[in-house]
Amino acid sequence: MLGLGELELKVMDVLWAAREPLRVRDVLEHLSDERKLAYTTVMTVLDHLHTKGWVRRTMSGRAYHYTPARSREEAGAGLLREVLDSSGDAESVLLHFARSVSERESELLRRALNQSPEQPDGGPS
């Protein structure tokens, strides 16, 4: 994702998959399967993610507990919004994107565009 380094994205993946807030040590345990990382490295990454607004943290006892500031889907949509806003030619970007989507994705877009603002879930109003 734009604005995230490789390790930051891996940490976000751990947080998005979690069902509850995680401590640095919890995140480290989930990441240790892939490669050996120092506790302080993960702590620094989480601190940077907090500064960037990607995670929220609350103090519990002597340790911070981290949660994503937004869902993976919200983050993806926000990044797409940034690309469109900064492209200088949103129409061209959208047309290139539309040509790259699968049939299923195309159908999802059609349904979303056909929904009225009062029906965000697609159900009857």
Euclidean distance between CA atoms 55 and 85, whole angstroms: 23
What mean pLDDT value characterizes the chain?
88
Q: Which residue has the higher pLDDT, 125 or 11?
A: 11
Is the distance from CB of 64 to CB of 23 less than 8 angstroms? yes
41-50, 58-67, 104-113: the lowest-pLDDT one: 104-113
At 10-44, the pLDDT tens digits run 999 999 999 999 999 999 999 977 678 999 999 99
Euclidean distance between CA atoms 88 and 69, whole angstroms: 28
pLDDT at 125 over 50: no
